[in-house]
Amino acid sequence: MANFYLEENIEKISKEFLEKTKDQEVFVISHFDTDGITSAVIMIKTLKQLDKKFSLKIFPRLEKEDVLNFPRDKALLILDLGSSFLEEFAKREQEIFIIDHHEISKIEESKNLHIINPHLSLDEELSSSSLTYLFCKNLIKDSKEFAKLAILGMIGDSMEKRIDKLNHSILNDGEIKRKRGILIYPSTRPINIALEYSSNPFIPGVTGNSEGVKELLRESKISPINGKYKGLIDLNDEEMSRLVTSIMLRNPRFKNKEILGDIFLIKFYNKLEDAREISAMINACSRLGEVDTAIQFCMEIPNAKKKAELIHAKYRQHIVSALNYISETEKVQGEGFVIINAKEKIKDTIIGTIASILSNSEIYEEGTIITTMAYYEDKIKISSRCTGKNKKNLRILLSEVIKKIGGESGGHESAAGGTIKKENEKEFIGLLKENLEIETIKLNK
């Protein structure tokens, strides 16, 4: 498959989609994280405007058996998933459209397979929600109202730090307000609450510790007014500076540039909100099994907001409990890596989030590869992340190990995942440890 400039490829495939699905029902498949959910909502709103018949299914992960069970009498439209199964899709005779940003290991030639993926072009990195938005802009005239959903997905995948030409155009479409500040959310809520539940960055002695929060704020000379603290966006420059200093004292490896950045304010339910909080709420709903609430929340259905808030509060408690468990549990560690097998102690749907939090926590030295594991059914969910700059492609590293024992793998160079059978647990840990030790020796030569 030839390289295309991304915008040209999106325009080409959007035309093919309209032509080839003219009289066909569309089966939409998407991932259950914020990027996948926002992609799905953008798409279903677009398909409704096109008056197309469709059905939707959300997956926490795609496995080979899922792919084999997809209907063959409908066009498939796959969002934020699918790049690991191109060989299987190429064998099918139906029209298949894949909008994804995960790395592609092998390109398959097929006249029925239509792929939008930044890894096929020389252009910038985009989230699947951004790609879906740009795709839908070519399908319908009035699509700007969906731009804020694309931004929520972008932030959900931590891609707001890489805003180039196309992402910048989406920000403009979404009429987003940006303000410089500490990257702790929600910036619009009282600062003591934001600090207590801050997981990215994870602040030692403060995250999950209300007394630690009070002490930090006392050090920063930030006091409540009429019993209530200000929100982050309401702090003046002097207060912000003192707070940054106090946070950095909790962990000297924190750098100003890592805890300071752009806060994105988005109009949601007719109120200006911190986009990171809205993104986190969508993610929380899905990861605690409330996909319908996540979709309704994205659609700004009134009854969904309160429910999403309650689920998010419960989810944050899960995260704090998981982090506390990990701080106490035994780990497989070596030079440059740590393997954390949570088994049934942490939900498989949040184990990837835990890996991401740890990789951003400054607990481990820069360059440490963190791999987390959690049980589900008769399988194990695996997530790998790297702290700081990564010298190794985690997707390749994980796939090499999983290939030897059987299972599924995929993801990005710096954020990979996979699944294996429980019966292969010990073999996987042994092989991964061996490979990580070999990689450490190579990198230190």
DSSP string of 338-371, one letter each residue: EEEE-TTSS-TTTHHHHHHHHHTSSSS-TT-EEE
* Global pTM value: 0.82
List pLDDT tens digits, range 193-203: 989 888 777 78
Mean pLDDT for the chain overall: 88
Strand residues in 32-182 grouped as ranges (E): 54-59, 75-79, 96-99, 113-116, 177-182
Residue 350 inside a domain? The answer is yes
Element (H, E) at 183: none
What does the pLDDT average to over 180-191? Answer: 84
Burial of 255 (0-12, 13-18, 19+ CB in 10 A): exposed
- Whether 201 and 261 map to the same domain: the answer is yes
Residue 276: give the domain boundaries. Answer: 178-320
**Torsion angle of the four alpha carbons 141, 146, 150, 155, in this order, in degrees rounded to the nearest 10:** 150
- Whether 192 and 285 map to the same domain: the answer is yes
Residue 152 inside a domain? The answer is no
Question: Residue 430 above 90 pLDDT?
Answer: yes
Q: Looking at residue 2, what is its pLDDT?
A: 42
- Whether 203 and 263 map to the same domain: the answer is yes
Confidence of residue 252 (pLDDT cuts 50, 70, 90): low
| CATH number, domain with residue 346 | 3.10.310.40
Helices (H) and strands (E) in the chain, counts: 17, 14
- Whether 333 and 357 map to the same domain: the answer is yes
- Whether 188 and 313 map to the same domain: the answer is yes
Taking the C-alpha atoms of residue 400 and residue 338, their distance in angstroms, rounded to an integer, is: 18
Element (H, E) at 172: helix 165-173
Residues of the chain above pLDDT 70, percent: 92
Taking the C-alpha atoms of residue 80 and residue 347, their distance in angstroms, rounded to an integer, is: 22
List pLDDT tens digits, range 212-237: 999 999 999 999 998 899 988 888 88
List pLDDT tens digits, range 119-153: 887 556 789 999 999 999 999 988 889 999 999 99
- Whether 133 and 52 map to the same domain: the answer is yes
- Whether 185 and 314 map to the same domain: the answer is yes
Residue type, 79: L
| CATH number, domain with residue 91 | 3.90.1640.30
* Beta sheet of 415-421, edge-to-edge order: 332-334, 337-341, 369-376, 379-386, 415-421, 408-411
List pLDDT tens digits, range 340-399: 999 999 999 999 989 988 887 767 888 899 999 999 999 999 999 988 766 678 888 899
Question: Residue 24 above 50 pLDDT?
Answer: yes
Residue 156 inside a domain? The answer is no
